[in-house]
Homo-oligomer: A and B are copies of this chain.
């Protein structure tokens, strides 16, 4: 029972270290502040004491007087999804390299969570919030700004004053996809999309459909479910079941594309690229798997992450919109043709 201690101080503080080293508390602070002036001897004593006591600067406390918390919020839903998790991996990587700390907020479930997530970010005086899913209210965004926070939205087509809007050029990619299918000699063209597509995903559809209209080719438009492999399975089944079975289909997402390919192969015995040409979007790891060898569009997660980081660490306050070109990745799910698409 001898160690019935205060119990309210499980922390090792700078004062403890100062006492142990026989110096003032301020010197301890200086020792851990880059570019402060401390003599080598006291610095040595302090570092030693700190090591023994297991002292670490309390960044929660230091955030109080310094104006930066060092924290950046990542707000995303369905983070277990291949593309989303790759994006998060890239972002955390870059943020950490820049000395930032990432706070991950999972907004899967009801939509209201995006709001809660942002409120939480404000509570922790996050320097910035990077939003991968959903779009916040503008009024809430203003609250963020008035608290000195920066905002970046990935893969949103909406207008959003004061924020960075970044994503691939979806519209152009859609056009390229149609082009590729036509050059591959496809006669019956289809588009596969989910019923709850985001604005960003819808742009891919628009680009594809517009290009088709211009080229004067009809498109079978098959929409179903939420953006996922399962939706692709359903869409693929419907498509392969038709009288006018398509021989070329653009899927707005790799996950959907994998579902379509599997439906064709496992349920109808139809193989890519001989019986069917399929193009996806995202270039998720599974697109490279030999069972799919999916021709698709790559968004550079690294590049997006890089741009987000830049945005978060500058003070620029005007709105910025960045459209990155989506790189066409040629694999083996589209029938070979002599002329590759431009």
Checking B12, B71, B78, B261 against A147 with a beta-carbon cut-off of 8 angstroms, the contacting residue is: B12
Return the CB mask of A139-155 against B: 1 if under 8 Å, else 0: 00011001110000000
Are A146 and B54 in contact, CB atoms less than 8 angstroms apart? yes
Are A122 and B92 in contact, CB atoms less than 8 angstroms apart? no
Cβ contacts under 8 Å, A93 to chain B: 106, 108
Are B88 and A96 in contact, CB atoms less than 8 angstroms apart? no
Are A11 and B106 in contact, CB atoms less than 8 angstroms apart? no
Q: How far is the CA of A263 from the CA of B262 in the complex (A)?
A: 17
Are A11 and B148 in contact, CB atoms less than 8 angstroms apart? yes
Interface residues of A in 258-288 (CB under 8 A from B): 258-259, 261-263, 265-267, 285-286
A101: Cβ under 8 A from any B Cβ: yes
Cβ contacts under 8 Å, A119 to chain B: 56
A170: Cβ under 8 A from any B Cβ: no
Are B69 and A60 in contact, CB atoms less than 8 angstroms apart? yes
Q: How far is the CA of A125 from the CA of B120 in the complex (A)?
A: 18
A242 to chain B, nearest CB (A): 20
Q: How far is the CA of A148 from the CA of B13 in the complex (A)?
A: 13
Cβ contacts under 8 Å, A292 to chain B: 291
Checking B67, B89, B122, B124 against A80 with a beta-carbon cut-off of 8 angstroms, the contacting residue is: B89
Best-surrounded residue of A59, A61, A102, A124 (most CB of chain B within 10 A): A124
Are B233 and A290 in contact, CB atoms less than 8 angstroms apart? yes
Return the CB mask of A181-205 against B: 1 if under 8 Å, else 0: 0000000000000000000000000
A163 to chain B, nearest CB (A): 16
Residue of B nearest to A261 (CB): B291
